[in-house]
Amino acid sequence: MKIPALQAVTVEILVDNFFDVFEPSRPGIVERVIPGRLKKPLLAAHGLAYLITLNHQGKLSRILMDAANSPLPLFNNLEALEHDINEIDAVALSHGHPDHYGGLFEFLAKRTGGPIPVYLHKDVFLPKVLITPRGRIGPWVLDLNQLVAAGVELHENQGPQLVLDQALLTGTVETTTDYEKPLPGFRRQVAGQEERDLFPDEQALVAVVEGRGLVVIGGCSHPGIVNMVKYAQKLTGVQKVSLIIGGFHLTPHGDETTQRTIQGLKELDPELIIAGHCTGFKALTKLAAAFPDNFMVSCVGTKVMVVGG
Ligand SMILES: [Fe+2]
Ligand SMILES: [Fe+2]
């Protein structure tokens, strides 16, 4: 599938689980905020929201990928980072878990202007349930009717679809590794029947940057971050990977899966890996040890730039 080679992609981490004042900046690649210079404190939360800016021949388009777990961190951090929500051109949802859409309706309600395009997989609307060691949670439902009533321009997909004609949502991820499998505690309800959720609704947002290769942005990566990057390579025909960023959902899968995922990431040979959100602390420490020069923890307020050339 052909997508245009962009001049630059910037991913700004609006909401994530972490803030670490000692994670370094990398000039021209990773810009970190200085907390004391912000107009208000940033909030970290168990949720995810990225502001992605695509530069296509000098024209900038902004995509909100995921809308955090609640309006509180989303709006607090948009304000702290001095963003105007009306400058956002589109919304994309990584998958149908509420820590990724909890601030969506408030975001839509606060915007002014015409309908905003919202890109998502059609299965995000199925009720989701989680069985945890501490009991059952859910069902969570993202209500299609409420979304339609909010006046959005809805783009539902199953297979790959273009976002603003510049980036690609992968659609249901083709799984090719034998070690990446969603945990059985994730369930979904289809026509009143509950079944294991294999996350057909989870998709990566993919962009290609001139001379740099792929930028692959994941949400929770329940289908497996290596599967997601490999599928992005297959869809675009571009092998070189410049940036992999997302929650990798690894710690609860155990050490062996984490090690095999690290091996898979090494084979993909990305220039930079940034993991946060649901990756889990233990897996983050293993990633940090495995990639001493090109791994960072995803901290709120961080801006990651992939510039072509
Ligand atoms: Fe998540
Ligand atoms: Fe999730």
C-alpha of residue 210 to centroid of ligand 2, in Å: 31
CA 264 – CA 294 distance, rounded (Å): 15
C-alpha of residue 148 to centroid of ligand 2, in Å: 23
Q: Mind listing the pLDDT tens digit for each residue in 252-273? A: 999 999 999 999 999 999 999 9
Using DSSP bridges, classify how beta strands 161-163 and 193-196 pair: parallel, antiparallel or unpaired. unpaired
With b for 16 or more beta-carbon neighbours within 10 A and e for fewer, the 120-159 pattern comes to bbebbbbbbbbeeeeeeebebebeeeebeebebeebebee
Q: Which residues contact 76 (CB under 8 A, 6 or more apart)?
A: 40, 41, 42, 43
Ligand closest to the CA atom of residue 183: 2
C-alpha of residue 95 to centroid of ligand 2, in Å: 7
- pLDDT, residue 287, reads 98
Q: Mind listing the pLDDT tens digit for each residue in 168-189? A: 999 999 999 999 999 999 999 9
Domain spans of the chain, in order of start: 5-307
CA 279 – CA 263 distance, rounded (Å): 16
Identity of the amino acid at 252: P
Of the options 3.30.1490.20, 3.20.20.70, 3.60.15.10, 3.30.70.20, the CATH number for the domain spanning 5-307 = 3.60.15.10
Residue 199 Cα to chain centre, angstroms: 14
Ligand closest to the CA atom of residue 246: 1
C-alpha of residue 181 to centroid of ligand 2, in Å: 13
Block residue for tokens 């290769």: 213
C-alpha of residue 277 to centroid of ligand 1, in Å: 7
Ligand closest to the CA atom of residue 16: 1
- pLDDT, residue 202, reads 98
CA 127 – CA 123 distance, rounded (Å): 9
Q: Mind listing the pLDDT tens digit for each residue in 84-107? A: 999 999 999 999 999 999 999 999
Q: Mind listing the pLDDT tens digit for each residue in 37-88? A: 999 999 999 999 999 999 999 999 999 999 999 999 999 999 999 999 999 9
